[in-house]
Amino acid sequence: MPFTSLVARLPFPSAAVQRAVGIAAVLAQALIGVTGSVVRVTGSGLGCPTWPQCVAGSLVPVNHPGIHALNQWIEFGNRLLTGVVIAVAAVAVITAWRVQIDHPRRKRLVKLAWTMPGGVVLQAVVGGMTVLAKLEWWTVAIHFLATTPLVWLAVLLLRAFREGDEPARSLVPASGRGILVALAVAMWLVLAAGTTVTGAGPHSGDINTHRLAISVESLAQVHGGLLVLYLLLLAVFGLQLMRIGAPKGLWQRYTWVWVIAVAQGGLGSLQYALGVPEAMVSFHVLGAMAVIIATASLWVGSRDRGPVTSLTAAPKELATA
């Protein structure tokens, strides 16, 4: 393929470059979720009321009756950031592709890399539907939740740059693996419940948007209860680690999950007690992204795929074989 030949001419990405690309993918996917919350809490969700144009007849903000210029630029800035995320995703694909050219077994790495641009395109479509639906709460919830698996996959991509391609060997017993699966499910339930609290809360993205007609207090209790379930599962998983004498690296990942999850729970409680101030909403979303990253890191750290063999270029006779 012509494009494969073009990619093959690029310098082989060093171990540091591969790691940097993986980290950039994680940060980009998480950041777009945080900036989306800024759009919402500033009431800028319909700063650009059409899609893909900002206003009818213009891709960029222009003076428009009834729409404040600041709201336009906040929403437009969030759309521009999507372009940055796409660029990072493209670099991830090219980097993984270049690695595979020298190391043909690295097919899983390339597949994970392709989820980045694929997910961004999907998110752009969902975002457009959200705007066209005038920010109905359930479309905003879907838009946010669609980001969460992309953050998780970005963590898997980062790990894939640093591990081999052997079949995954679990470092915990089958029961522990089951608990870890339940922990991941509980995490997404917490996130989904959080979107309902947002849907009923004061920050809709636009003053004319319909809200979820359920008591915020009741939804917050469900959200908090699911967080307790998540923490209980995390504690049970810790008992499994104690029983098997887990390696230090896995314990470190586990500890970070506890620190981030407890901090996130405390932040949510404080946010609720203070009447949900705007700035704290975005910090809470940032905390949610950190929980996803930490949980995904625990997930990948609980199994082993053998040593990585693609941190350096293959000898020419092997790369061209």
- For 250-291, write each residue's pLDDT tens digit: 999 999 999 999 999 999 888 888 777 777 788 889 999 999
In the chain the first and final C-alpha atoms are separated, in Å, by 16
- For 197-224, write each residue's pLDDT tens digit: 887 766 555 556 667 778 888 888 999 9
Picking from 255, 253, 265, the residue whose alpha carbon sits closest to that of residue 297 is 253
* Calpha distance 54→127 (Å, rounded): 13
Q: Using alpha carbons only, give the angle 230, 282, 150 rounded to the nearest 5 degrees.
A: 60
* Calpha distance 214→47 (Å, rounded): 27
- For 245-254, write each residue's pLDDT tens digit: 889 999 999 9
CB-neighbour burial class of residue 259 (10 A; exposed 0-12, middle 13-18, buried 19+): exposed
Q: Record the tokens describing residue 261, joined without a space.
A: 């999850």
Please tell me the predicted confidence (pLDDT) of residue 43. Answer: 67
67 - beta bridge partners? 64
Q: Collapsing DSSP states into helix, strand and coil, what is residue 276?
A: coil
- For 63-90, write each residue's pLDDT tens digit: 767 677 777 778 777 778 888 999 999 9
Please tell me the predicted confidence (pLDDT) of residue 180. Answer: 95
All residues at 6 or more sequence positions from 253 whose CB lies less than 8 Å from its CB, including other chains:
294, 297, 298, 301
* Calpha distance 240→14 (Å, rounded): 37
